């Protein structure tokens, strides 16, 4: 069966520090991969998605970047964190093919910027 792992689960970082959040998927190949951010009391905002290695689509201009160095690995990064980067970050995957397939989510990373 397929599983998705995100780490770390929680992270406290100072303003201006770098960031790297990692997401890996097991049990499937060539998945679509997604990064979302959920600010306190707000809905989900799609940040990036990827349909293949090295293919990244950015949904909103921001202080973050994403990379997909391997088929089942998706990394969210920042060179200098801002206070506004605080939030709950969720990674998700979906199988290739028609859009009637649901996305499957990891357990998220709670990021607090001090």
Partner 1 sequence: AQSVTQLGSHVSVSEGALVLLRCNYSSSVPPYLFWYVQYPNQGLQLLLKYTTGATLVKGINGFEAEFKKSETSFHLTKPSAHMSDAAEYFCAVSLIQGAQKLVFGQGTRLTINP
Residues 85-104 that bind partner 1 (CB under 8 A): 88, 90, 92, 94, 98-100, 102-104
Q: Single out the residue of 14, 29, 40, 43 in contact with partner 1 (rule: CB under 8 A).
A: 43
Query: In angstroms, what is the minimal distance from the CB of 30 to partner 1?
Result: 13
CB 91 within 8 A of CB 8: no
53 in contact with partner 1 (CB under 8 A): no
Please give the Cα distance from 113 to 11 (Å, whole number).
8
Number of residues interacting with partner 1: please give it, by CB under 8 A: 24
């Amino acid at each position: 069966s397929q599983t998705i792992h995100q780490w770390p689960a929680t992270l406290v970082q100072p303003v201006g520090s770098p960031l790297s959040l990692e997401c890996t998927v097991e049990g499937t190949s060539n998945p679509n991969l997604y990064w979302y951010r959920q600010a306190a009391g707000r809905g989900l905002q799609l940040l990036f998605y990827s349909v293949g290695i090295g293919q990244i689509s950015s949904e909103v201009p921001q202080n973050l970047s994403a990379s997909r160095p391997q088929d089942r690995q998706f990394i969210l990064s920042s060179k200098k964190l801002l206070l506004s980067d605080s939030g709950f970050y969720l990674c998700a995957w979906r199988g290739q093919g028609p859009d009637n397939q649901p996305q499957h989510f990891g357990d998220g990373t709670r990021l607090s910027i001090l």
